[in-house]
Copies of this chain bind each other. A is one copy, B any other.
Amino acid sequence: MSRAKIAGSLAPGATVGILGGGQLGRMIALAAADFGLRTVVYEPEISGPAAQVTNQHMAGAYGDEARLSAFAARVDVITYEFENVPAEAVAYLAELRPVRPGGRLLAVAQDRWLEKSFFAERGIATAPFARIDNLTDLEHAVEKIGDRSILKTRRFGYDGKGQVRIEKGAKLAAAWRAIGEAPAILEGFVPFRREVSVVAARGADGAFTAFDLCENEHRDHILARTTVPAEVAPRTARDAVDIARLTAEALEVIGVFAVEMFVCETRGRETLLVNEIAPRVHNTGHWTIEGAETSQFAQHVRAICGWPLGSARRMAPRVEMENLIAARAQEWSRLIAEDGAHLHLYGKDVAAPGRKMGHVTRLFRTEEPARRESGEKLKDSALPPTLR
């Protein structure tokens, strides 16, 4: 495809601006480097992971328009590595340079009410939910959804922050105060069998490609392991990709994003229930660095530069990605000696509890599933990883 055929495409030598300096920014920068692109990392304080792998970085607040403007002047396209990048910063930057994936995806992904409504309006199942703007809303919602539910702020929640579990006989006024009386949703529990995710990309030309369905296990509140392909019926995998495609098209995504879902069982048949959208490259897609023909990071760079998407073909019958959380990264010397294990460390100095220090990917030549430590028992959908 010639450059002329893709509106707004960049050429190698162009500069990609990255908001956020963690491991996702780092891996985007490394993928950009493979294509001869420059990168500028922008974050409030230079923290390390992404800034280590580029000679251009800027420390600046996300609300500092002068700094943001200087950042935009140095780059040709802007992307971000985290969903809580302030919408105002994105709106400001979008006047100066393309910001990809675009603001519509970000707006929906940042607001649990918009997010759940987006799917509900399209007939795609989610856990039961209700919008909560005051204590009365909460009382009505608990009556309707039941007391096995969870109250979540609409915005800026992650890793269980801004969430309160509603128990039988719970004091609802206390729960409402606990989340700061902020706009929220109440979400009911749904029993599920597996957590899965689709990591997918949409190009500037409208092309859509999804990596194979990921099956995810959480441990101690954080993603512990992704196995690909997920152990689901072929139809379930196709349905999951269809949901991601619909999302990409409806929200005019340009870039990589993920949709997290639960696989439930209804009368012996698998059904999908959407949990949330991640408007960015995703931890459950790290296996693609070695496990797919194009990594999610290379795919993201292709998309945001206006280049054709690469093949998402899986390179082995089974691929597993294990997160190295906190002290687990100290086992690097064992992992580096393990035949076929691909170790990635993110250049972080302090292995604080819960901190993602790196990951390791293993390609297997057979489809035989790995032993699952968490067994096959049903889990509760609405519980955030922190409470499971």
Chain A residues with CB under 8 Å of chain B are 1-3, 9, 11-13, 26, 29-30, 33-38, 51-55, 57, 293, 302, 307-308, 311, 315, 329, 332-334, 336-337, 339-340, 343-349, 357-358
Minimum Cβ distance to chain B for residue A156 (Å) = 29
Cα separation A386 to B13 with both chains bound (whole Å) = 29
A34 contacts across to B, CB distance below 8 A: 30, 343-345
Minimum Cβ distance to chain B for residue A113 (Å) = 39
If A26-B33, A52-B38, A54-B53 touch, does A2 touch B347 (CB 8 Å cutoff)?
no
| CB nearest neighbor in B for A311 | B339
Please name 14 further chain A to chain B contacts, defined as beta carbons within 8 Å, in addition to the given A12-B329, A35-B343, sorted by A numbering: A11-B332, A13-B349, A30-B34, A33-B52, A33-B53, A33-B347, A34-B344, A35-B345, A36-B346, A38-B52, A52-B54, A54-B54, A293-B340, A307-B337
A329 contacts across to B, CB distance below 8 A: 12
Contact for A302 among B55, B334, B336, B344, CB less than 8 A: B336
Minimum Cβ distance to chain B for residue A12 (Å) = 5
Contact B35 A1 (CB under 8 A): no
A29 contacts across to B, CB distance below 8 A: 53
Contact for A307 among B302, B336, B340, CB less than 8 A: B336
Cα separation A333 to B5 with both chains bound (whole Å) = 10
Cα separation A30 to B52 with both chains bound (whole Å) = 11
Contact B36 A358 (CB under 8 A): yes
Contact for A308 among B3, B337, B346, CB less than 8 A: B337
A9 contacts across to B, CB distance below 8 A: 333
Minimum Cβ distance to chain B for residue A16 (Å) = 12
Contact B57 A345 (CB under 8 A): no
A307 contacts across to B, CB distance below 8 A: 333, 336-337
A347 contacts across to B, CB distance below 8 A: 12-13, 33, 36-38
Minimum Cβ distance to chain B for residue A239 (Å) = 26
A337 contacts across to B, CB distance below 8 A: 1, 307-308
Cα separation A336 to B329 with both chains bound (whole Å) = 35
Cα separation A307 to B51 with both chains bound (whole Å) = 25
If A33-B26, A33-B53 touch, does A336 touch B308 (CB 8 Å cutoff)?
yes
| CB nearest neighbor in B for A9 | B333
Q: Can you name 26 A-B pairs with beta carbons within 8 Å? A: A1-B334, A1-B337, A2-B334, A3-B333, A12-B332, A13-B347, A30-B30, A30-B53, A34-B345, A35-B343, A36-B332, A36-B345, A36-B346, A37-B347, A38-B52, A52-B55, A53-B55, A54-B55, A55-B57, A293-B340, A307-B333, A307-B336, A307-B337, A308-B336, A308-B337, A311-B340
